Structure 1
């Protein structure tokens, strides 16, 4: 049974076989587990999602002062709408959580990293349109099976 971390409260949830993930709600806070938009994470939330989510996690490392990051933000949302619940989408503000960015070797932004089973499986730097993000994820991650 897959484990899904709630983006709202961080609780670990299990989705029973046969129950559609798209409609699943957190057993603790009752918020939807998938909202069709990236979750905003801090360093602790990122670590929890990396180590506990059963599905791939794609994280956009960004900062408010970064023009390309701002241009890519709506594209990242569109990609989330296209691929959730196959992939969890999240954003981490590198200015608010510099230690998390440093721990993952972020040297330029925007940088997207994909984690699966607790480890990094793909990385891409630079702004991308939604279609290219989706294709990159399909080629790099979903082709491997989830």
Structure 2
């Protein structure tokens, strides 16, 4: 039996079947050829968010942020570095709360930055406030182990 997992493409949202026997870091989208990992966190709108939340078989780490937020801008490089360390165990995104207000309302984002870890459509963990790379990695791994 060929074991695999389903992953949406960050660029075109096409669902891709990734065989577990193949290295995930080499995986590319079957439609647009974008690498599925190694591109850093990707921006999501409402439709893309819902597709990742309901269809991806990997955990999804989301940074809810705003362009006017100093701590968000300060944390951005640490988040990117943490994502590079955590992939391919998860997929990681960013949601601009001003551009995607319905998502901020749906998840009751009261302060930014806020990280939320989702898996199989459910919120697993939430952390508000800026964190460093190692703190993000430790926090995520604490919930994925």
TM-score interval for Structure 1 and Structure 2 normalised by the shorter chain = over 0.9
Equivalent of residue 52 in structure 1, options 50, 55, 66: 55
Unmatched tracts of structure 2, length 5 or more = none
| Partner SS state of residue 124, structure 2 | strand
- Work out the CA distance in 2 between the residues paired with 1:81 and 1:96: 25
TM-score (norm 2): 0.95
TM-score (norm 1): 0.95
Measured against aligned partners, the alpha-carbon deviations of 1:63-98 in whole angstroms (never above 9, x if no partner) come to 000000000000000001101010111000001000
Q: Is the 8 A contact 1:57 1:89 kept in 2?
A: yes
- Work out the CA distance in 1 between the residues paired with 2:20 and 2:135: 31
| Partner SS state of residue 2, structure 1 | strand
> Deviating runs (4+, > 3 A) in structure 1?
none
What is residue 4 of structure 1 aligned with on the other side? 7
- Work out the CA distance in 2 between the residues paired with 1:70 and 1:29: 30
1:17, CA displacement in angstroms?
3.0
- Work out the CA distance in 1 between the residues paired with 2:39 and 2:133: 13
- Work out the CA distance in 2 between the residues paired with 1:102 and 1:85: 29
1:102, CA displacement in angstroms?
0.4
Measured against aligned partners, the alpha-carbon deviations of 1:76-132 in whole angstroms (never above 9, x if no partner) come to 000011010101110000010001110111111100001101110100000000000
- Work out the CA distance in 1 between the residues paired with 2:46 and 2:61: 15
Q: How many residues are treated as equivalent by the alignment? A: 142
Q: Is the 8 A contact 1:36 1:77 kept in 2?
A: no
Unmatched tracts of structure 1, length 5 or more = none
Q: Is the 8 A contact 1:36 1:80 kept in 2?
A: no
What is residue 43 of structure 2 aligned with on the other side? 40
Q: Is the 8 A contact 1:36 1:84 kept in 2?
A: no
Check if 1:134 corresponds to 2:110: no
Equivalent of residue 25 in structure 1, options 24, 28, 31: 28
For the aligned residue pairs, the C-alpha RMSD in angstroms reads 0.8
